[in-house]
Amino acid sequence: MSSCRILQLRQSSQFFAVTRFPAFFKPPISTICFSSSNFRSGTGAVSSCNTLRRMNAHGVVPDVSKVTVVDDPSLLEEKAAAIRLAGPAKLQVIADFDATLTKYIVNGRRGDSSHGLLRQENAEYDAKRLALYQYYHPLEFSPSIPIEEKTKLMEEWWGKTHNLLIEGGLTYDSIKESVAASEIAFREGVVELFEFLEERDIPVLIFSAGLADIIEEVLRQKIHRPFKNVRIVSNRMEFNSDGRLISFKGKLIHSLNKNEHALDMAGPLHEHLGDSNGLNNLGASVKDRTNVLLLGDHLGDLRMSDGLDYSTRISVGFLNDNIENNIAGYSKAFDVLYLNDAPMWGVVNLVSQLWPTHN
């Protein structure tokens, strides 16, 4: 890395980044700096540049073991200046859900994904869906399968899974019970980020190849409030009057077409969510927002902005696991990278410095 070196402490599995920050970017409390003069590989000698500071008016002190990597500070500063100049009316936020908005580790173990937490009333169908996962998941990440063939395989996998949910008689009550029993939680700072963006009428598009109904239920049970600026772009279910799944709305959204093209495929928000927040017309309005803040935890999430002719994009990555093997590629691909299942406070800090006041 040109402007970043990585140090692994002998006493800890955490990684710390030696990073130069752009002038506009005040490193969040989650950043620990090491001066080059004091850098000793494996010693963990911390210089006096510890940036332990409260990030915002909430008075919350995040975990200082979490770190920030900015590989090209000049480029980040250039992008931030362009987005700031264009104003909030030109910005949209595109976010992955699992392991991006949600934590990677919950209560000491790998947290549930929005799709993985689902338990049907008939356990036989849970086993069948698991068998599909075990067969198709390796194919999804196989480097030897051409993209055209892989796309067909993903359509096949998602289609079979959706059919099992219908055949197994999935009910909305099962979704609510599954979420209540799950190990899924949002990163600290997600609510504050949504609030900041809502105050400035900046839309947040949550892209997921999973199930919108489950994500909505997670939001309902874990955050307990709606946000008028948030829309979920994912596969949406159709339930009958008894609350039993009968079909899916719109076209299939899978891991390889999870991008802005999917806006036209996503179904409307459920009536039981009110639909009073005006998000049904969001698809057209975001096309005019040509600046993007993208949040993801995989390199493939960078494709979520495909289909949008954007002017400027700041990409923020969360590298939650296998850091040593992936940090070089991730730090080059993302403008800002957060390590070790970091909280969302760094992103809150970033956007608050774009527009610190709200008129």
Q: What is the largest CA-CA distance in the chain?
A: 68
> Which helix (H) or strand (E) segment is 5 a member of?
strand 4-8
Q: What is the dihedral of CA 343, 175, 260, 105, to 10 degrees?
A: 20
d(CA 215, CA 221): 10
3-state secondary structure 171-198: EHHHHHHHHHCCCCCECCCHHHHHHHHH
- The secondary element (H helix, E strand) that includes residue 335 is none
Contact 96, 297 (CB under 8 A): yes
Question: Tokens for 53?
Answer: 């500071």
**Residue 215 host element (H or E):** helix 212-222
Tell me, yes or no, if 126 is annotated catalytic: no
Residues ≥6 apart with Cβ < 8 Å to 234:
97, 206, 207, 208, 209, 210, 211, 212, 215, 253, 266
Phi, psi angle pair for 3, to nearest 5°: -125, 20
Q: Is 96 a catalytic residue?
A: yes
Q: Which helix (H) or strand (E) holds 109?
A: strand 109-110
- Tokens 């090491």: give the residue: 34
Candidates 71, 98, 297, 335; catalytic one:
98
Catalytic-labelled residue, pool 63, 71, 72, 96: 96
Count Cβ atoms below 10 Å from residue 215 Cβ, excluding itself: 24
Residue 220's Cβ-count burial label (10 Å; 0-12, 13-18, 19+) is middle
In this structure, are residues 204 and 231 in contact, taking their beta carbons and an 8 Å threshold?
Answer: yes
Please choose, from the candidates 214, 220, 111, 125, the residue with its C-alpha nearest in 3D space to the C-alpha of residue 164.
Answer: 125
Q: Which residue numbers are catalytic? A: 96, 98
